[in-house]
């Protein structure tokens, strides 16, 4: 085990301008967004006037009980949708962004570090078309990365609109043939185990809480152990990788490490924390990961 803090080689179209006061000020392409950030407990480097002047759109919560729900206040000229690009090595991706009702915009820029890990892991496999499973796949950055280097990708998410968004990103990136599955990730994995399926790579990006398309309830701490146990059955014994991201503030990286050691016995792995650095040099934690290749 090797725990590291990683500052990703970010998208050229992204910049964390400032953070603090439980907020972050970010540039996505030409547009600057102001969003809540519960871990930015320090003071802002820039003045309130500067934040107001720079932000093209600002998200404000409806109340303190729901950290996600709120409303956008936008300035004239701010579009509902726009595109950003990621051109790094073998990856040349285009992704659509949008102002959603839950403060997200369609991309987590720190994940560029894991996209690079995915492409490198697949490129080193001596497998003609490795099978990759992406669970809780959101708008598909990891799916696009795997597809771009020749993998046969199965993309699973419970929200049909998000899967449609992912398809748009695939087409905008000049890619094709990703398999789209609108289903509860836990139920899908259960069925894949029964079918005797295997994969050369499994990517998991589970939320703390969630709902499946038929109202299935996902609670991270209650189900992640069983899910990883099933994933161990799905992962090929050789020429394979696993990557899991976690964003839950109350979920220690040590918990994930213990889960990996339990279900992937004697498997050497790397764990760490992804961070974004603002212009004042402060590191903003954005989640933890555990990953390995074998």
Render pLDDT for 13-23 as a digit per residue (tens, 0 to 9). Answer: 999 999 999 99
CB 124 within 8 A of CB 130: no
**Residues 261-284 pLDDT 10s:** 999 976 789 998 889 999 999 999
Percent pLDDT > 90 in the chain is: 76
Ranked by mean pLDDT, which of 58-72, 112-126, 246-260 comes out on top?
A: 112-126
Q: Are 76 and 242 in contact (CB under 8 A)?
A: no
Binning pLDDT at 50, 70 and 90, where does residue 5 land?
Answer: low
Give me the mean pLDDT over the 238-265 stretch.
88
pLDDT over 70 at 67, yes or no: no
CA neighbor of 149 nearest in space, from 200, 76, 213: 200
Q: Which residue has the tokens 């919560």?
A: 61
Structure tokens, 101: 């009702």
Is 67 within 8 Å of 11 (Cβ atoms)? no
> How far is it, in rounded angstroms, from Cα 121 to Cα 274?
19
Q: Which domains does the chain have, with CATH numbers?
A: 107-293 (3.40.50.150)
Give alpha helix (H) positions in the chain.
48-54, 112-124, 141-148, 160-172, 185-195, 220-234, 253-263
pLDDT at 246 over 80: yes
**pLDDT, position 268:** 87
**In the prediction, which pLDDT does 6 show?**
61
β-strands 179-182, 152-157 pairing: parallel
User: What is the pLDDT at residue 102?
Assistant: 86
CB distance 279 to 18 below 8 Å? yes
Residues 68-87 have a mean pLDDT of 91
CA distance 242 to 25: 32
Mean pLDDT throughout 224-244?
Answer: 96
Lowest-pLDDT choice from 82-91, 104-113, 196-205? 82-91
Q: What is the DSSP letter of 202?
A: E
Please choose, from the candidates 169, 143, 132, the residue with its C-alpha nearest in 3D space to the C-alpha of residue 293. Answer: 132
């Amino acid at each position: 085990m090797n725990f590291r803090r990683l500052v990703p080689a970010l998208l050229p179209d992204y910049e964390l301008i400032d953070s603090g006061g439980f907020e972050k000020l970010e540039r996505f392409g030409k547009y600057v967004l102001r969003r809540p950030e519960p871990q930015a407990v320090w003071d802002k480097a820039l003045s309130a006037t500067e934040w107001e002047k720079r932000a093209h759109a600002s998200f404000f919560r409806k109340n303190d009980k729901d950290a996600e729900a709120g409303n956008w206040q936008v300035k004239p000229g701010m579009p509902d949708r726009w595109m950003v690009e990621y051109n790094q090595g073998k990856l040349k991706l285009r992704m659509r962004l949008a102002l959603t009702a839950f403060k997200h915009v369609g991309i987590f820029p720190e994940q560029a570090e894991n996209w690079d890990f995915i492409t490198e892991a697949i490129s080193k496999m001596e497998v003609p078309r490795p099978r990759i499973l992406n669970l809780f796949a959101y708008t598909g950055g990891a799916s696009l990365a795997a597809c771009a280097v020749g993998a046969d990708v199965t993309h699973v998410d419970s929200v049909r609109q998000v899967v449609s968004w992912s398809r748009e990103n695939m087409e905008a990136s000049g890619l094709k043939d990703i398999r789209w599955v609108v289903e509860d990730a836990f139920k899908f994995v259960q069925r894949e185990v029964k079918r005797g399926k295997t994969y050369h790579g499994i990517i998991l990006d589970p939320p703390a809480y969630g709902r499946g398309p038929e109202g299935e309830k996902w609670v991270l701490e209650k189900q992640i152990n069983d899910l990883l146990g099933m994933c161990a059955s799905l992962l090929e014994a050789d020429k394979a990788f696993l990557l899991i991201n976690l964003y839950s503030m109350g979920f220690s990286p040590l918990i994930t490490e213990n889960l990996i050691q339990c279900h992937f016995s004697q498997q050497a792995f790397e764990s760490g924390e992804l961070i974004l650095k603002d212009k004042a040099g402060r590191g903003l934690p954005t989640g933890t990961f555990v990953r390995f290749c074998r």
